[in-house]
Amino acid sequence: MCADPLRLGILGGTFDPVHLGHLASAREVAAAFDLDRVLLLLSARPPHRPDHTPAPIEQRMEMLALAAAGDALLQVCDLEVRRQGPSYTVDTLRELARIHPAAELFLILGADAYAEIDTWSRPRELPRLCNLIVTSRPGCACDVAAVPPPVAARGETRYDPSVGCHLHESGHVVVGHPIHGLEVSASEVRRRVALGLPIEHLTGPAVARFIHQHQLYGASAH
Ligand code: ATP
């Protein structure tokens, strides 16, 4: 999988389940940064969520495939599924750089996820490996006007007022990007499923059908 596009976006997530907010973010960032492809990278064993037991990896992968079907921009990426142990983004970026030596990498993160970046494994390496695109998250009062680089990488970055973002010495940017997107979270989808409320408008019909067929998140089969 993962052939060689020149400008490669990476949207990582637990995707428990994938929803239309994820897809809207991927598409908006791709349009704004002229990306050839966006990998939907399943974080199979997220180290930051020991308190939450997600749906089985195989089912989250199947839902991602359903969500990405028919959209040439989006590609499901299973690198972290095939790797043993916790899913560290820095390892995945290194692997992607090996697989796609000619590609420029753009890691796409919602501001909520980026707020935790200093707790990730080896945060100093991240802006060396890729551009960091931090999106607003519809419904959240998060400011993406001047996104700072990871603390550990501050010695290697400088703010460039002419472009309005931080530049890493590698040439990569750390930049905030406001999106229109969709106000939805996976927790809200799970909550609605458990209450028997409709979710098609938040997940699309194929993922909603899958959730009910497999009785995920407390769903009863239709
Ligand atoms: P949960 O509600 O379980 O925390 P989530 O909806 O945040 O899940 P994740 O799979 O954890 O989904 O998110 C993956 C990435 O997508 C993160 O960078 C997150 O910030 C981003 N993201 C999630 N929902 C949206 C949204 N509605 N708009 C923009 N970005 C989003």
93-111 burial, b for 16+ CB within 10 Å, e for fewer? Answer: beebeeebeebbbbbbbbb
Pairing relation of β-strands 37-42 and 173-177?
unpaired
Shortest-distance atom of ligand 1 to CA 183:
27
**pLDDT confidence tier of residue 142, bands split at 50, 70 and 90:** confident
- In short, whether 202's Cβ falls inside 6 Å of ligand 1 is no
Look up the CATH number of the domain holding residue 114: 3.40.50.620
Q: Determine, yes or no, domain membership for 2.
A: no
Q: Is the pLDDT of residue 211 over 90?
A: yes
Q: Is the pLDDT of residue 8 over 80?
A: yes
Q: Determine, yes or no, domain membership for 29.
A: yes
- Collapsing DSSP to helix, strand or coil, 7 comes out as strand
- In short, whether 187's Cβ falls inside 6 Å of ligand 1 is yes
CA of 15 to the centre of ligand 1 (A): 8
- Average pLDDT over every residue of 123-148: 91
pTM assigned to the model: 0.94
Cα–Cα distances (Å) from 87 to 12, 55, 84, in that order, read 10, 16, 8
**pLDDT confidence tier of residue 50, bands split at 50, 70 and 90:** low
pLDDT score at 49: 60
Q: Determine, yes or no, domain membership for 73.
A: yes
Q: Determine, yes or no, domain membership for 28.
A: yes
Q: What percent of the chain has pLDDT over 90?
A: 83
Across 65-172, where does the E strand assignment appear?
74-77, 104-110, 131-135, 157-160, 165-168
- Average pLDDT over every residue of 154-177: 95
Write down the H helix ranges in 69-167: 79-82, 89-99, 111-114, 126-129
Range of the structural domain that residue 30 is part of:
7-183
d(CA 33, CA 38): 11
Looking at the 3D structure of the chain, how many domains does it have? 1
Instruction: Answer yes or no: are the C-beta atoms of 117 and 149 closer than 8 Å.
Output: no
Instruction: Answer yes or no: are the C-beta atoms of 10 and 96 closer than 8 Å.
Output: yes
- Collapsing DSSP to helix, strand or coil, 142 comes out as coil
Across the chain, where does the E strand assignment appear?
7-13, 37-42, 74-77, 104-110, 131-135, 157-160, 165-168, 173-177
Q: Determine, yes or no, domain membership for 112.
A: yes
Q: Determine, yes or no, domain membership for 211.
A: no
Q: Is the pLDDT of residue 2 over 60?
A: no
**pLDDT confidence tier of residue 196, bands split at 50, 70 and 90:** very high
- List residues bridging with 159 in a β-sheet: 166
Q: Determine, yes or no, domain membership for 205.
A: no
Q: Determine, yes or no, domain membership for 196.
A: no
pLDDT, tens digit, 9 for 90 and up, residues 55-88 = 999 999 999 999 999 999 999 999 999 988 888 9
Ligand 1 pocket test target in 137, 183, 199 with most atoms within 8 Å of CB: 137
- Least-confidence region, from 19-28, 46-55, 165-174, 194-203: 46-55
- Average pLDDT over every residue of 146-162: 94
